[in-house]
Structure 1
Amino acid sequence: MSLTGKIAIVSGSASPVGLGIVRSLLQQNATVIAPVKSSDEIALLTQSLGDISSGKLITELTDVQEYEKMADLVDNCIEEFGRIDIAVAGFDPHCTSPCLTDVKPGEWEKIIEGTLNKFFVFAKTILQKMKENKQGLFVSLSNTDHLPQKAYSPLFNIVSKTRLEMAKVFANEVKDWNVEYHHLFVDNAPLKDKQKPGSITPEMAGPYLIELFGQKGKLSNLFKTFLGR
């Protein structure tokens, strides 16, 4: 479907799946705002997406973990475009620890700031504006690897479960404001072996997300799974 005139914000846009989603949105003529943390990520996006002539890519050098910076980015977006139609919160990083008692305080703080706080700030600032405008689709992503319990990493279990609980709360809070929230589990485990039969590619997640946007108002389940098979 054409996304001409639609405004999207994609975090984690420099990851393989994030790049695939941005590519799909641009190909459908959307305007895509990509918050990035470094000039290297800007160069990666520019180089990887340089072959696309449709749509418009706007890179914003900012720290999505910092509430005021993210709030400013969202406010500027609303001021310029009037709304946000699609928002995508990318993958959270893996974290491992044999025992929770062995986790160092600095490591704990890094995980909270780098994963849960980043997700909270990104979602809160955007969903607040979507509620005010009474429209929008918000999709958070994680790997299907987050579904099973990992006996060797209680820290991973805590972080992944907490983020899923946050998704449930956000979805419930915005459902009466014509804002749709979905959490998409993407099976990207075979990405390193692109020749494996049935393996998904990063580009496959984008069309699926666009399909969700096209079915807005018709889907009730919060959690979706895209296996690519």
Structure 2
Amino acid sequence: MKQNQHELGNKLVVVAGGAGEIGERITRMFLQQGARVLVPSRSKEKLKALGASLKDISTGELIALETDVSNPQGLKTLSAAIGREGVLRAAVSSVGTFWQGPRSLEVPIDEVHRVFEETFFPYVGLTQALIPALGPDTHFVKLNGILSLQAIPNVSAFGVSATAQMAWTRFLIAEATESTPWITELVIDSLVRTRSSQTLPKDYISGDDIAHEILRIVTEENEHQIATIGKGPGDAEVEFVPLRSQASENNVKRLFGSFQARG
């Protein structure tokens, strides 16, 4: 059921990764709604550039926080900042990077470990810092990419991390209670037009499109969900590696019945 949640004026929102190219558009969108947007980043230069890019926005308040949310101390700094700034209305994880390398059998284990250290574990930490700070009828939104759903050659380390992030979100949803926020994993299943990729055809989705979908979710949706967003010409000829479908309802019932039988 939709609730009257559209008023974001003076509400506190966290956008982790808000200084990135897609994150900047999300931050801009929330500021335009009058929100107070807290953006953590370990880069003072990125925060300074973010502030400069948003000078045309006269509504809301940008709260720049220089901290590294990929480590425990940085997460403590983020939690303390949220405590000072007030009640948290929504949080978005737009932290992202990319990795491409040799085929799976040739990737050094140390490299796989490094990719997980930089991508999966920071997401776990963010969920443990942000979700407890959100109350019922608030929203936590995580951006992910198509690699969380589809195997593609030569990006195995990053793809497995993306899949692990998706799995972590599924567990968060499975363990959600009435006191936890609504959790959405928003999978971007196409290339995105940003300021560094303006040569992409307008057929592709833009950062603003993603930002407005997040706004719609935060103001209109009241459910836990794995959702997808994306658009593009879709004429590339690629060979897909199909993944098995999710477990059937009977399989899930059997599994839970086994858990109950074990006590």
Quote the offset at 1:170 in angstroms: 1.4
Q: Secondary structure at the match of 1:85?
A: strand
TM-score, normalised relative to structure 2: 0.77
Q: Secondary structure at the match of 2:70?
A: coil
- Deviation digits for residues 182-205 of structure 1, max 9, x if unmatched? 001124515224562432221221
Are residues 31 and 38 of structure 1, via their aligned partners in 2, closer, same or farther at CA, if it must alter by over 3 Å?
same
Greater CA radius of gyration, 1 or 2?
A: 2
Are residues 37 and 52 of structure 1, via their aligned partners in 2, closer, same or farther at CA, if it must alter by over 3 Å?
same
- 1:97 partner amino acid: G
Identity %: 21
Whole-Å separation in 2 of the counterparts to 1:111 and 1:121: 15
Identify the structure with the greater helix proportion. 1
In structure 2, what is the equivalent of residue 98 of structure 1? 102
Whole-Å separation in 1 of the counterparts to 2:161 and 2:173: 18
Q: Secondary structure at the match of 1:174?
A: coil
Report the aligned-residue RMSD: 2.1
Q: Is the 8 A contact 1:23 1:203 kept in 2?
A: no
In structure 2, what is the equivalent of residue 46 of structure 1? 51
Whole-Å separation in 1 of the counterparts to 2:199 and 2:173: 34
- 1:84 partner amino acid: L
- Deviation digits for residues 20-61 of structure 1, max 9, x if unmatched? 100000000000000011111112101111110100000100
Whole-Å separation in 1 of the counterparts to 2:119 and 2:54: 26
Whole-Å separation in 2 of the counterparts to 1:134 and 1:190: 32
Is 1:88 matched with 2:67? Answer: no
Quote the offset at 1:134 in angstroms: 3.6
Whole-Å separation in 2 of the counterparts to 1:178 and 1:155: 31
Are residues 49 and 152 of structure 1, via their aligned partners in 2, closer, same or farther at CA, if it must alter by over 3 Å?
same
Whole-Å separation in 2 of the counterparts to 1:97 and 1:188: 20
Whole-Å separation in 2 of the counterparts to 1:120 and 1:28: 29
Whole-Å separation in 1 of the counterparts to 2:137 and 2:94: 21
Q: Secondary structure at the match of 2:159?
A: helix
Map 1:26-45 → 2, pairs under 5 A: 26-45=31-50
In structure 1, what is the equivalent of residue 145 of structure 2? 143
Q: Secondary structure at the match of 1:151?
A: coil
Any unmatched runs of 5+ in structure 1? none
Q: What count of residue pairs does the alignment treat as equivalent?
A: 224
Quote the offset at 1:80 in angstroms: 3.1
In structure 2, what is the equivalent of residue 206 of structure 1? 211
The worse-fitting range, judged by mean Cα deviation, of 20-29 and 155-164 is 155-164
Is 1:223 matched with 2:229? Answer: no
TM-score, normalised relative to structure 1: 0.88
Any unmatched runs of 5+ in structure 2? 1-5, 233-263
Is 1:185 matched with 2:187? Answer: yes
Quote the offset at 1:227 in angstroms: 2.0
Whole-Å separation in 2 of the counterparts to 1:53 and 1:228: 31
Q: Is the 8 A contact 1:136 1:179 kept in 2?
A: yes
- 2:220 partner amino acid: Q
- 1:102 partner amino acid: E
